[in-house]
């Protein structure tokens, strides 16, 4: 099951795009000056700083407040800032670029086309100010993250590599680490674990050389753990996750939101190792931290409820479907039914559906989710390969061999390509070579029926 633990790294000025939260009573209040500036038809130039601070406050505000609510308010400040900067300084000015970047962040979920145009304009303006490479790096990174979320992975890679190159020329260690982190996550998602490994290891070396201890350097260790876990190298993954936790505790505390992200992956490794007691302990800790820091309406709370119900079912049996359906409905409401997060949780639901004999619903959900994820994930993404093969096996079990062969060929072809492209990783080659042999054996009957040659 996937997770969405992407650390928000691009404050509109300082570097991170933060996920939103559940609804609370009111948004982060703007300063009186900013509110007054917002109401003026032609605010004075002195309002620029107030509007920047007000927009930033909505971007990084209390995560217990609904993101859409905060972003709607932030958009008003950003558009006013753009109007004011254009009137006072002209289009080719750092304040105008900042305003475009804010607008892009606040509208990207509602209007991706406008967001892309605004990002492009911010970047174009920043390119014309060679004395301020840092802002250009930030805008490029924001844009790369945005493209990745649209599953335009090749475009996102190009943009993030440029962000890294600009940060390197500028000799800004913090921006280099942030660019490497995002690029490493993207490459892992694309199934290019070798390339991701090199990018992230270079980030670790840079952080250690410069003695950087921050949430970003901790996140690089976390991303390296993810990289190893995607190769089924769980002992290596655990070593990096533990280092990430130690750094996160020093930076943010053991009961912080960042620490909860690490506890999630430690629970995943415990599940792989069959340590049910540790899985339950990690899940309860994550739930308590997120409930306290994010509030009961945050989407990760529903995800935690789902995970705990699944663990209870795996260890104690029973019928978890009522509780899981409620949690999944909340997840779909928060992230969107067609989001990668919701689709992965829907796929997880198919396992208890199978155990309860709901085979028609099981297969319908699996086929729909796999079809949707095909449009979002890279062909050689390890998760995508597994989903194709698992769907093939489900179709085989439901006596639909011809359809099973279609998905088996799709997954097996991607698997062969992944093995070929990962020749520098003997452990990955061995792991996937064994999996390929297993999958071929599983569908041997269908292969012979539908492919007699």
pLDDT tens-digit series, residues 75-113: 999 999 999 999 999 999 999 999 999 999 999 999 999
Instruction: Kindly report, residue by residue over 266-279, the tens digit of the pLDDT.
Output: 999 999 889 999 99
Look at residue 263 and tell me whether its pLDDT is greater than 90.
yes
Average pLDDT of the chain is 85
**pLDDT exceeds cutoff 90 at 431:** no
Does residue 433 form part of some domain?
Answer: yes
Q: Is residue 405 part of a domain?
A: yes
Question: If pLDDT is split at 50, 70 and 90, which confidence band does 430 have?
Answer: low
> Measuring CA to CA, how many Å separate 249 from each of 110, 212, 218, 326?
35, 15, 10, 33
| Domain presence at residue 17 | no
Does any domain span residue 367? Answer: no
Neighbours of 284 (CB within 10 A): 15
More confident residue, 451 or 313: 313
Q: Residue holding tokens 């620029």? A: 48
Domain that holds residue 389: 380-453
Q: Helices in 90-172 by DSSP H: which ranges?
A: 94-107, 112-127, 133-149, 153-170
Classify residue 27: in a domain, yes or no. Answer: no
Distance CA 352, CA 271 (A): 17
pLDDT at 389 over 60: yes
* Region of residue 2 (phi > 0: left; psi between -120 and 50: alpha; otherwise: beta): beta
Q: What sign for the dihedral angle of Cα 69, 264, 146, 214?
A: positive
Measured CA to CA, the distance from residue 56 to residue 140 in angstroms comes to: 18
434 token code pair: 């064994």
Give the CA angle between residues 295, 297, 303 to the nearest 5°: 100
Kindly indicate the confidence band of residue 64, based on its pLDDT and cuts at 50, 70 and 90.
Answer: confident
Tokens of 79: 């558009």
Cα separation, 114 vs 75, in Å, equals: 12
Q: What is the pTM of this model?
A: 0.80
Q: How confident is the model at residue 330 (pLDDT cuts 50, 70, 90)?
A: very high
Please indicate, yes or no, if residue 227 is contained in any of the structural domains: no
- Domain annotation covers residue 434: yes
Q: State how far the Cα of 101 lies from the Cα of 10, in Å rounded to an integer.
A: 11
Residue 21, SS3 per DSSP: strand
Phi, psi for residue 358 in degrees, rounded to 5 = -90, 65
- Does residue 32 surpass a pLDDT of 70? no
> How many folded domains does the chain comprise?
1
Is residue 428 included in any domain, yes or no?
yes
């Amino acid at each position: 099951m996937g997770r969405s633990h992407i650390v928000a790294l691009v404050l509109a000025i300082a570097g991170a795009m933060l996920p939103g939260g559940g609804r609370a009573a009111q948004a982060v209040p703007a300063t009186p000056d900013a509110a007054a500036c917002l109401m003026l038809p032609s605010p004075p130039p002195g309002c620029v700083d107030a509007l920047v601070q007000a927009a930033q406050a909505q971007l990084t505000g209390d995560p217990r407040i609904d993101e859409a609510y905060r972003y709607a308010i932030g958009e008003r400040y950003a558009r006013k800032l753009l109007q004011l900067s254009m009137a006072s300084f002209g289009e080719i000015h750092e304040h105008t670029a900042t305003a475009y970047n804010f607008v892009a962040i606040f509208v990207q979920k509602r209007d991706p086309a406008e967001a892309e145009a605004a990002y492009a304009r911010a970047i174009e303006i920043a390119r014309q100010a060679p004395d301020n490479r840092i802002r250009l790096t930030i805008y490029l990174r924001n844009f790369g993250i945005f493209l990745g979320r649209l599953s335009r992975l090749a475009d996102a890679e190009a943009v993030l590599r440029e962000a890294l190159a600009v940060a390197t020329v500028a000799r800004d260690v913090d921006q280099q680490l942030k660019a490497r982190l995002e690029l490493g996550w993207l490459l892992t998602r694309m199934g290019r674990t070798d390339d991701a490994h090199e990018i992230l290891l270079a980030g670790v070396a840079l952080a250690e050389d410069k003695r950087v201890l921050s949430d970003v350097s901790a996140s690089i260790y976390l991303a390296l753990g993810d990289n190893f876990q995607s190769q089924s190298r769980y002992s290596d993954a655990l070593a990096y996750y533990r280092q990430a936790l130690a750094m996160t505790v020093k930076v943010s505390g053991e009961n912080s939101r960042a620490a909860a992200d690490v506890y999630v992956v430690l629970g995943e490794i415990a599940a792989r190792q069959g340590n049910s007691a540790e899985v339950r302990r990690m899940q309860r800790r994550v739930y308590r931290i997120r409930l306290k820091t994010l509030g009961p309406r945050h989407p990760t709370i529903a995800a935690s409820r789902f995970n705990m119900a699944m663990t209870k079912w795996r260890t104690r049996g029973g019928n978890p479907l009522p509780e899981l359906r409620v949690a999944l409905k909340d997840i779909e409401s928060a992230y969107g039914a067609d989001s990668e997060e919701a689709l992965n949780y829907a796929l997880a639901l198919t396992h208890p559906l199978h155990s309860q004999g709901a085979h028609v619903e099981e297969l319908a959900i699996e086929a729909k989710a796999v079809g949707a994820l095909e449009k979002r994930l890279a062909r050689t993404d390890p998760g995508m390969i597994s989903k194709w093969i698992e769907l093939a096996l489900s179709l085989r079990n439901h006596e639909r061999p011809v359809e099973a062969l279609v998905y088996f060929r799709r997954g097996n072809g991607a698997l062969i390509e992944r093995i070929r492209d990962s020749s520098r990783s003997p452990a990955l080659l061995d792991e996937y070579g064994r999996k390929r042999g297993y999958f071929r054996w599983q569908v041997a009957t269908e292969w012979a029926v539908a492919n007699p040659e």
